[in-house]
Structure 1
Amino acid sequence: MNNHSLKIVFAGTPDFAAVALQAILEAGHQVMAVYCQPDRPSGRGKKLVAGPVKKLAEEKGLPVEQPLNFKETSDIKRLSDYQADLMVVVAYGLLLPQSVLDTPKYGCLNIHGSLLPRWRGAAPIQRAIENGDSETGITIMQMDKGLDTGNMLLKVSCPIDKQETGSSLHDKLAQLGGQAINQYLATYSPEFCGEVQDDSLANYAHKLSKQEAQIDWSKDASDIERKVRALNAWPVCFTHAGNKRIRVWQVELTDNHSTNAAGSVIAMSKHGIEVVCGDQKTLLLKELQPDGSKRMDAVALLNSRKDWFIENPVLGQHD
């Protein structure tokens, strides 16, 4: 099989997917059409804004399809008309029904941001950091009706650095995803069935929420530190000094201990704001962002708002 003769329909919406689409195009594959989520309202004016995949597809002159879902028979017929050999799906944002999975000649492939079956679901990148995993990676998977349950066709690993954030790991895996799909397509054979996942090893990576970003100072210092890194750059962890809400972009573990209550501010210096955690170990708050202000280092915040922490020596307590 001449693998550059494969007819591919691509489905994805955010920048993670756009990187993969760019890689597929650069490798010379035939992309018959691009599917992405409908444009969403954004900004103060709530104007409809196209996602990164749609913008790239339009730049390349590719047909763009944006069905709300695939419940209409006309949507399935439209997909069928492209006569695709494969559909490559990356962060599309919609659980595809069996009718879609069965439409391309050889089915649908997914580029998934974890070493399956470790993290299935919406936020595998962030959950890997939050749970202290030492590595993650990309899995190319044959899609089935389950959520990230299909056979694994190719796995490429990526170490998780101790300073890794959700944002930095996202970017690394986006690049790796593009490389992995091209590696797989280069030797594609429809007869290759891959490896069945061991369901007993699977964990569900729940979708991120703004509510979970509030720091619980009763947790261990290492747990809080990982969460801050995992939720950077969205939704970003936060705490309160009295009624002042402060986003926490960067923290640092210390070797110090304190018997003060969890959330207590015990030192303020050029190194940061030192806060006690539930295991009596302390964290240094290094980069912060008060509501309505830009990101700044702790020293800059203390220069203008040190009184916040003098008046509210225990963080997280607010009306």
Structure 2
Amino acid sequence: MGTPEFAVKALAELVASGHDIVCVYSQPPAPKGRGQVLSPSPVHTFAQSLGLEVRTPKSMKAPEAIAEFQALDIDACIVVAYGQILKKEVLDYPPLGCFNLHASLLPRWRGAAPIQRAIMAGDSHTGVEVMRMSEGLDEGAIILTGREEITFEDTAQTLHDKLALLGASLLPVALAAIERGAAAGQAQVGEPTYAKKITPEEARIDWNRPARDLDFHIRGLSPFPGAWCMLQTPKGEQRLKVLMSRVTDEVSGEMPGTRLLGGLKIATGEGVIELVRVQREGKAAQDAADFLNGGLLNPGDRLL
């Protein structure tokens, strides 16, 4: 059971390691692009390319969806970013159990946006864990853990890609232990934190924050949904996404949000941040030098 690109690597590894995939579940096709054409999920598309059966129920809570699941002849169920809550009748059906691959070091960052939240919080490490699923949100016993450093060059996308590969590599090892009956797991230890979904308003950049916090914020939201601010243009205000940044060792007495001399450097509430890659509304992403060539933000101008 999986939906986004993160889960494709997991499915590919399970197939490559020789497991018999009885059925693949994914979220229903959703409108995409300017034409809002119904398009299957990445997992759906990949599974079909392998000739696997794909099911896309609107709700796994529906009695008919549960009954169809329970009619499958399966040993175990692997869940990777599926996007639906599974009821007890589903979790209890597979003889060996249901197992989830989650992109954090639990109990830190339970929930929907663990990769983004880890960078936004300034965590130095994160990871992936295979856990035995329970009815609670990401509360199950941990079967296997892989750790990954978060660097100052990481964005949500680069960290996503590293964790997708790491997580996929754990699944065959975890399933081997599960088949041997050696996967009781360890209870999660520590105070849980929750990775709630990112809202558009939360993604707005507050230049009054310290430069380091803003760098975490920008990289943690790149490329999607993208940290943003407002740019004053001759045609009025326009939204500007910031996709990559770095903290400088400079100081400034300018008002937060003011562009300084020397590149696309912006004064903040504490320190100076350099914007490396940006994207104007309706335009392609640009490196800072190309953006500045447009003359839309001169030294002394402010981002809002």
TM-score range, shorter chain: over 0.9
1:314 paired to 2:302 = yes
Quote how far apart the aligned CAs of 1:284 are: 1.2
Q: Match of 2:253, SS? A: coil
CA contact (8 A) 2:140 2:187 kept: yes
Which region of structure 1 is more displaced relative to structure 2, 189-198 or 211-220?
189-198
The runs of at least 4 aligned residues of structure 1 exceeding 6 Å deviation read: none
1:128 paired to 2:118 = yes
Provide, for residues 141-193 of structure 1, a one-character-per-residue CA deviation record: whole Å limited to 9, x for no partner. Answer: 00000100001111111111221110000000101111011111123233531
Structure-1 residue corresponding to 2:92:
102
CA distance in 2, matches of 1:135, 1:19: 21
Q: Match of 2:222, SS? A: coil
Structure-2 residue corresponding to 1:262:
256
Aligned pairs for 1:207-222 within 5 A? 207-222=197-212
Amino acid at match of 1:175: L
1:244 paired to 2:238 = yes
Q: Match of 1:187, SS? A: helix
Aligned pairs for 1:1-319 within 5 A? 11-188=1-178, 189-190=180-181, 192-198=183-189, 200-242=190-232, 243-267=237-261, 269=262, 272-279=263-270, 281-306=271-296, 308-309=297-298, 313-316=301-304
CA distance in 2, matches of 1:61, 1:136: 34
Amino acid at match of 2:212: S
CA distance in 1, matches of 2:156, 2:174: 26
Q: Match of 2:264, SS? A: strand
CA distance in 2, matches of 1:226, 1:293: 24
CA distance in 1, matches of 2:171, 2:153: 27
Q: Match of 1:171, SS? A: helix
Q: Match of 1:12, SS? A: coil
State the TM-score, normalized to the length of structure 2. 0.94
Amino acid at match of 1:117: P
CA contact (8 A) 2:177 2:183 kept: no
Q: Match of 2:6, SS? A: helix
Structure 1 residue runs without a partner (length 5+):
1-10
Amino acid at match of 1:136: T
CA distance in 2, matches of 1:303, 1:161: 30
Amino acid at match of 1:313: D
CA contact (8 A) 1:83 1:105 kept: no
Q: How high is the sequence identity, in percent, across the aligned residues?
A: 38
Provide, for residues 37-93 of structure 1, a one-character-per-residue CA deviation record: whole Å limited to 9, x for no partner. Answer: 111011122211001111111111111111111233221221111121110000000
The Cα RMSD (Å) is 1.4
Give the number of the structure whose residues are more often strand, by fraction: 1
Structure 2 residue runs without a partner (length 5+):
none
CA distance in 1, matches of 2:43, 2:288: 37
Q: Match of 2:250, SS? A: strand
State the TM-score, normalized to the length of structure 1. 0.90
CA distance in 2, matches of 1:292, 1:65: 35
CA distance in 2, matches of 1:175, 1:79: 28
